[in-house]
C-alpha cells in the first residue's frame, strides 16, 4: 500500500539535529508517510544515526551518495524514489509541529490547491524560539511574480505538493544554493499558484555555518537567479531586487 505522504530530506553532516528532526516526524498526527533521506556523503555520524533509525522504522528509506552532490541533486534522489501522493520537504535541521501534515493536507483539499506553504517559526541553533515568524504577512495566494518579488519566502521545509494536481516533474537544478527557490519559481511560472496556510507549523533553524545565514551571499545569489537563471530583464531585475532588499529588512524587524 502506497503511503499518502513522501517526506523528502537531503542531509549532510547533521548528526546534531537529525534525530530531533525525525522525532518531529514521528509525532505527526498521521502515520501513513515515508521518509526518504539522501545522505550527501556525510563525514560525521549522520549515516550511522540514520541506519540505526531505519532499523526501528520501516518507513525510513535511505540513499547514500558516493560523493557530495549538493542539496538539490540529493533531494532529487529522494523524489525519484518516492511513492506518496503528497510530496513534502523537510530539511535535516528543521522541525514540524505535530499537526503539520494533517492540517496542510486538509487545507489543500479545501482550496483545491496543488502547492501549499505554511508560516515558519524561526528558532536558534539550540532550538530556542527567536520570536520571528516567516511569511505571516505573505499573500494567501502566491503567484510567480509574488515569489520573484519575495512577497513570500516559501521556506523549503514548509512546502507540500499534491502530485494528483501538479503533473509537472519536480526536479531541482544543480545549483549549490537557491535550488529550491528556483524549483518553486519554475512551478509557478508555468501557471500553478501556491496557497499559504497562515499558521506556523514549521520551525526553521538558524545554523551558524549555514550558507543561508550569510546575508551578502544570499543577496548575490538572489541577483544571479534573476539575471542568469530566470533571465529577467535588467530593469525588472532591479525592481524585484529592490523589493527583495526592502522585504528582507522589514521582515527582520517585525
DSSP state of 15: T
Cell 544554493 belongs to residue? 177
Q: Tell me how far apart the alpha carbons of residues 211 and 213 are, in angstroms, rounded to a whole number.
A: 5
β-strand 95-96 against 160-162: which pairing, if any?
unpaired
Assign 167 a pLDDT band (cuts: 50, 70, 90). confident
Total domains in the chain come to: 1
Tell me what pLDDT residue 97 has.
98
Summarised one tens digit per residue, pLDDT across range 69-122 is 999 999 999 999 999 999 999 999 999 999 999 999 999 999 999 999 999 999
What is the CATH classification number for the domain harbouring 161?
Answer: 3.90.550.10
Tell me what pLDDT residue 254 has.
55
Tell me what pLDDT residue 3 has.
96
Tell me what pLDDT residue 212 has.
57
Closest CA to 134 of 186, 201, 80: 201
Which of the pair, 20 or 217, is modelled with greater confidence?
20
Its domain, for residue 173, covers: 5-252
- The predicted model scores a pTM of 0.95
Range with the poorest average pLDDT among 67-81, 211-225, 232-246: 211-225
Tell me what pLDDT residue 253 has.
56
Residue 220, Cβ neighbours under 10 Å: how many? Answer: 12
Amino acid at each position: 500500500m502506497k503511503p499518502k505522504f513522501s517526506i523528502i530530506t537531503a542531509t549532510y553532516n547533521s548528526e546534531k539535529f537529525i534525530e530531533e528532526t525525525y522525532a518531529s516526524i514521528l509525532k505527526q498526527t498521521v502515520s501513513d508517510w515515508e521518509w526518504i533521506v539522501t545522505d550527501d556523503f556525510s563525514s560525521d555520524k549522520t549515516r550511522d544515526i540514520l541506519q540505526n533509525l531505519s532499523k526501528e522504522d520501516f518507513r525510513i528509506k535511505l540513499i547514500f551518495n558516493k560523493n557530495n552532490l549538493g542539496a538539490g541533486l540529493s533531494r532529487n534522489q529522494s523524489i525519484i524514489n518516492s511513492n506518496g501522493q503528497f510530496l513534502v520537504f523537510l530539511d535535516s535541521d528543521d522541525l514540524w509541529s505535530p499537526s503539520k501534515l494533517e492540517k496542510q493536507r486538509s487545507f489543500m483539499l479545501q482550496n483545491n490547491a496543488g502547492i501549499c506553504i505554511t508560516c515558519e517559526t524561526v528558532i536558534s541553533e539550540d532550538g530556542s524560539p527567536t520570536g520571528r515568524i516567516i511569511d505571516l504577512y505573505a499573500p494567501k495566494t502566491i503567484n510567480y511574480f509574488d515569489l520573484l518579488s519575495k512577497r513570500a519566502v516559501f521556506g523549503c521545509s514548509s512546502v507540500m505538493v499534491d502530485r494528483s494536481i501538479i503533473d509537472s516533474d519536480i526536479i531541482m537544478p544543480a545549483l549549490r544554493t537557491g535550488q529550491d527557490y528556483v524549483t518553486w519559481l519554475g512551478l509557478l511560472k508555468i501557471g500553478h499558484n501556491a496557497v499559504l496556510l497562515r499558521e506556523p507549523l514549521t520551525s526553521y533553524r538558524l545554523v551558524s555555518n549555514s550558507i543561508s545565514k550569510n546575508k551578502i551571499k544570499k543577496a548575490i545569489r538572489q541577483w544571479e537567479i534573476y539575471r542568469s537563471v530566470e533571465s529577467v530583464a535588467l530593469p525588472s531585475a532591479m525592481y524585484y531586487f529592490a523589493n527583495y532588499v526592502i522585504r528582507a529588512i522589514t521582515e527582520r524587524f517585525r
